[in-house]
Amino acid sequence: MGKLTEALEIFGRDYIDPPIMTTKEKKDNIWLYDQLNKAGFLNTGMKKLNLDTKYWACSKKEFEDWIEWDWTNGKRYISEQYDCDNFAFSFKARCDRKIGINTVALVIDYSGGHAYNLVCFTDSPAELYEPQGDRWVKPNASKSKTEVYAMTSGYIII
């Protein structure tokens, strides 16, 4: 019965409407560049790859309401099959598809050997997001090779 309950919890949410983004605003590449630059993500050695020319962002509060609804973190981690890059890809895709917010980046961090997300908001600085644990994280660029969020070599795909 545990697996059935887990499946209903994870897949059942797709049939319930996600929160409505009332603060959703249309933005452009200049705004996006400014957000990433002000937050310090573009001067770390990371390269930015734009996927769009127009972006839609919302407030941090509404995005956190979305995180409460989203079930990406409920997926089971399977090494080399459904691991960090899959969590980050899935979370970005769900934001695009379910709430129309495309200011969620996929971060491929070669220096940290990890993949995660970065989110730009209309009302606060851009932040790193760990989709496996539903939590905001801080970049930890340092000389250490063990830092997961090193952000000294890799790509910000947004």
Task: Confirm whether 13 is domain-assigned.
Answer: no
Question: What's the gap between Cα 73 and its chain centre?
Answer: 12
CATH number at residue 36: 3.30.460.70
**Torsion sign (Cα): 59, 64, 70, 76:** positive
Assess if residue 27 is contained within a domain.
yes
Residue 122 domain-assigned (yes or no): yes
State how many domains the chain has.
Answer: 1
Phi, psi for residue 92 in degrees, rounded to 5: -60, -45
Q: What confidence score (pLDDT) does residue 32 get?
A: 97
DSSP structural state of residue 16: S
Number of H helices, E strands in the chain: 4, 8
16 domain residue, yes or no: no
pLDDT digits (tens, 9 = 90+) for 96-105: 999 999 999 9
pLDDT at 116: 98
Cβ neighbours, 10 Å, residue 133: 11
pLDDT, tens digit, 9 for 90 and up, residues 76-94: 878 887 789 999 999 999 9
For residue 45, the enclosing domain spans 23-157
